[in-house]
Amino acid sequence: MKRRRSLVLLTAGLALTASACNANPSAGSGSAAIRGGTLHILDDSPTMKEDPAKSQNFATSAIHLIVRGLTTWKTDPGKPPTVVADLATDTGEQSDGGRTWTYHLKPGLRYEDGSRITTQDIKYSVERTFAPQLSEGLAYHKTLLVGGQDYKGPLTGQDLPSIQTPDASTIVFHLNKPFGDWPWIASMPAFTGVPKSKEDVVHYQDHPLASGPYKVQSAQQGTKFVLVRNKYWDPKTDPVRTAMPDSIVIDMALNDQVINQRIIADQGIDQSSFSYVNLQAALAPKVLNNPQVKARLAISPSGLLKYLALNTHKAPLDNADVRRAIEYAVDKNAVQVAAGGPVIGGELASTLIEPGIPGYQKFDLYPAPASGDIAKAKALLAQAKFTQTTPLVLLTDNASANLAIAQAIQESLGKAGIKVTLKSEDNDSQVADSTSGKPVYDLALSSWVPDFPSAQGAIQALFGSSEIGNNGRNISQYSNPRVDAAIGAAVGQLDLSRAASQWAALDQQIMADAPIVPLYYAKNTYLRGSQVADFQLPLYPPYPNTLTVGLAGK
């Protein structure tokens, strides 16, 4: 499945009605699945990038029904995800102080054509991601592997020496620094097997050689993908995929509202379908006022962080007291209402790390009523000798829900004596402007969810000095040498429980400088048909786990 965009609001601005207060808050629904039948996934994507080099998909999405990685994620309702061995025998043996990671393949692993999966195939798969023609996937490993920054991929006839394969079942990765989260990196789509003989830069995304429980029977970009069973998949080697349906059809390029209208109606094949788009505001009453339909609505326990970035490089926001005043002044209750309320929109936020990510600890350095503390904000502004000649520019995209949130922020800051003007753009322009590193805004409305279940993705990506400009996500342009040093220490920590504690401390350290205002943890809402079973939205990621969905018995 396609990755949801990280910098836009993913939940629709659903109106919070009286019936919504009783909406089913379950993260999953449906009875236990049985083996058999055809499951339909209804999506709005015009294309399916099933080439592992091009994919940015989470380990719970549909590409991982086709391909397996060295590691993968195990998710359980109400629990944080854990990294587990997939093709490999374990999650990695580290040496050289965390700079070298070694994996051994489980015996007997086969592709859909019966050929053996080898570590040479995995090396080639990772190397493919360096080719300019195949550069759309996640790129964490490119800066970690020794020599990666200068490598241009195997299509040039060159290999990457920092990936070694001493035999067909052993692969060794040499990193340029200790990196405790490498087992999560090894779960990315690129860390599967792609035999060099199957290279097809243009068409491999239509038919990747399957190592998972399903293979592509047919692919019509813009219409549908049909997946059928891979007889060479061995369930005894797979810790996460249940492979209950006999076939899975991914229906593509559908209208968002039409998708949900079909699932609400629950007729024919739609009884065996689920939506991969969020419920829209206009359809919320149809769902929330109908108990039978509401029972088929899954709401994620938490989700991405919606936040207001404060440009710390621009006056007056270069003054920490002014930023702290904004922390108190924002009416988070009004923001939450604009987003759809606590049941559908999300819970109020006060941290940088989202619930469900190891390292999350609940705290609030700026305690105030949900509507804000204007008196406290004004006192801090007076302490900072705040004066204003021109309004602060708040950058947002022009989605209706985001505009409503921006207007709520504008109004609440106005009560504290801070004038704000809104600048709305299409999403692509807003992302480009906010990540350019140029002072084109004072405030920016944004959202973020890490690419893998580590607080590194919540902290380093948004607050590391290296992430300012050049499309980096540090849009508050926050730079603190002590924080950078602490990030480096946490990244190199090989004990992930200790790393979680380090990230939790960084959360509080950064929030003391107030570079952003956490607004709420946005929830996602997905509908399933009445015959869909084991439909789960884990703590993280807040999307359907396609690896476990099946159909109920009649």
Mean pLDDT throughout 274-296? Answer: 90
Rounded Cα distance, 554 and 546, in Å:
21
| Cα Dmax for the chain | 73
DSSP label at 145?
Answer: B
In the prediction, which pLDDT does 554 show? 65
Pairwise CA distance, residues 450 & 468, whole Å: 17
Burial of residue 510 (CB within 10 Å: 0-12, 13-18, 19+) is: buried
3-state secondary structure 330-366: CCHHHHHHHHCHHHHCEEECCCCCCCCCCCCCCCCCC
- The whole model's pTM is what? 0.88
Q: Where exactly does CATH 3.40.190.10 map onto the chain? A: 63-209
Q: What distances in angstroms separate CA 475 from CA 434, 472, 509, one per listed residue?
A: 6, 7, 18
Q: Is residue 518 over pLDDT 70?
A: yes
Sign of CA dihedral 341, 342, 345, 347: positive
Cα→Cα distances 460→332, 491, 533, Å: 25, 9, 37
Q: Which of 187-196, 271-280, 337-346 has the lowest mean pLDDT?
A: 337-346
Q: Is the pLDDT confidence value at 502 over 50?
A: yes
* Beta carbons of 29 and 530 less than 8 angstroms apart: no
* Tens of pLDDT, residues 22-58: 233 345 556 789 999 999 999 998 888 899 999 989 9
- Between CA 109 and CA 72 the distance in angstroms is 16
CA distances to 14, 44, 47, 138, 154 from 131, rounded to whole Å, are 42, 28, 21, 13, 7
527, 340 contact by CB (below 8 A): no
Torsion of CA 527, 75, 43, 220, to 10 degrees: -140
CB 514 within 8 A of CB 323: yes
Residue of 415, 324, 308 whose CA lies nearest to 365: 324
Fold that domain 63-209 belongs to in CATH: D-Maltodextrin-Binding Protein; domain 2 (3.40.190)
- Mean pLDDT for 127-144 is 92
Cβ of 113: how many Cβ atoms within 10 Å? 12
Please give the structure tokens belonging to residue 363: 């705290």
Supply φ then ψ for residue 428, to 5 degrees. Answer: -60, -40
Evaluate the CA torsion angle 525, 552, 38, 267 in order and state its sign.
Answer: negative
Lowest-confidence segment of 28-42, 361-375, 419-433 by average pLDDT: 28-42
The CATH H-level superfamily of 305-522 is Dipeptide-binding Protein; Domain 3 (3.10.105.10)
Q: What is the pLDDT of residues 167-183, one digit of tens each?
A: 999 999 999 999 999 99
Instruction: Examine the pLDDT at 247 and tell me if it is beyond 60.
Output: yes
**pLDDT interval class at 2 (50, 70, 90):** very low
Cβ-based neighbours of 483, under 8 Å, separated by 6 or more: 463, 464, 506, 509, 510
Check whether 392 has a pLDDT greater than 90: yes
Indicate where the chain has its CATH 3.10.105.10 domain(s). Answer: 305-522
Question: What is the residue whose two structure tokens read 């015959």?
Answer: 531
Q: What's the confidence (pLDDT) of residue 21?
A: 30
